Chains A and B, each alone.
Chain A
Amino acid sequence: MTGRPDQDGDHNLRLLGDAWDQAAEHWRDGTARQFGEDQLTPLLHESRGYLEALRKLMDTLEAADRDTESPPGSGRE
């Protein structure tokens, strides 16, 4: 992947969510429900929190780069 890390992280999270949806189509008993609540939901919640924080920080890094002049000849001016 070549995008911003936060965007790639969002993509990975969507893939995991899709995999869980697919598994939940077949696996629907009480154990599945409990697994979803106790294991998967906290994992997804923590991941979303991290990716949101990463997105904010990447936005700041990009803004800093745009707002500060690069030395001539650096290829970034």
Chain B
Amino acid sequence: MTGIDADIDALRGLHQALVRYRHAQREVAARGEDEIRLARAALEAKASYWRAQLELGQAGLGDCQDRAAQAAEDGAVDCSGYARAVEQSREQLERIRRWQQRIDAEASEFGGTASRFRDLLEAGLPRVEEHVLALVASLEAARRVQAPASRP
């Protein structure tokens, strides 16, 4: 194999690697977007659950406090379990809200980088691939010129 043949093979291999890279990273980028959507949906589902728990807890606490007021003389009604459940639901909701805010901020920041990367995959990388193919074509043309000249 001549030097020019080796160059052509090397460039063809590089071209194939660039095409594979573009497809594989496109999938990576799509999965990244999916992960963000799934995480947001999971947090929203958790928030929905804890909002329902909070409503139940508040209703239970209200009933309990009514019973406690009616039975004030006996003093036998303990509402602390309801109060703890309400407090736990509030804490969970607050925790989820903070994570939602943080994810919104970080996803927004990430959006710019992701957009540039998508542009790279859709426009920049195909240009690089075309450039490599053009180099292969010019080397092949040079080889065709060289071949007859090297004959006796």
A71 and B13 contact, Cβ closer than 8 Å, known pairs A9-B25, A16-B18, A60-B103: no
Tell which of B7, B17, B50 touches A27, judged by Cβ atoms closer than 8 Å. Answer: B7
Instruction: Tell me the count of chain B residues lying within 8 A, CB to CB, of chain A.
Output: 49
Chain B residues closer than 8 Å to A31, beta-carbon distance: 135
| B34 vs chain A, min Cβ distance (A) | 8
Decide if A49 touches B39 in the complex (CB within 8 Å).
no
Interface positions, chain B 19-33, Cβ under 8 Å from A, are: 20-21, 24-25, 28-29, 31-32
Decide if B14 touches A23 in the complex (CB within 8 Å).
yes
Decide if B9 touches A26 in the complex (CB within 8 Å).
yes
Q: Is B92 an interface residue (CB 8 A)?
A: yes
Decide if A5 touches B28 in the complex (CB within 8 Å).
yes
Decide if B113 touches A50 in the complex (CB within 8 Å).
yes
Measured in the bound complex, the distance between the Cα atoms of B18 and A8 in whole Å is 16
Secondary structure of the A contact surface, majority rule: helix
Decide if B21 touches A68 in the complex (CB within 8 Å).
no
Measured in the bound complex, the distance between the Cα atoms of B110 and A49 in whole Å is 10
Chain A residues closer than 8 Å to B135, beta-carbon distance: 31, 35
Extra contacts besides A56-B106, A57-B110, A64-B39 (17): CB < 8 Å: A12-B24, A16-B17, A20-B17, A23-B13, A23-B14, A26-B7, A35-B132, A39-B131, A46-B117, A54-B110, A57-B36, A57-B107, A61-B39, A64-B43, A64-B102, A67-B99, A74-B45
Using a CB–CB distance below 8 Å, which chain B residues touch chain A? 3, 6-7, 9-11, 13-14, 16-18, 20-21, 24-25, 28-29, 31-32, 35-36, 39, 42-43, 45-46, 49-50, 92, 95-96, 99, 102-103, 106-107, 109-110, 113-114, 116-117, 120, 124-125, 128, 131-132, 135
Could you list some 15 contacts between A and B, CB below 8 A? Answer: A5-B29, A16-B18, A16-B21, A19-B14, A27-B10, A27-B11, A29-B7, A46-B120, A49-B113, A53-B114, A57-B106, A60-B102, A61-B39, A61-B103, A64-B102
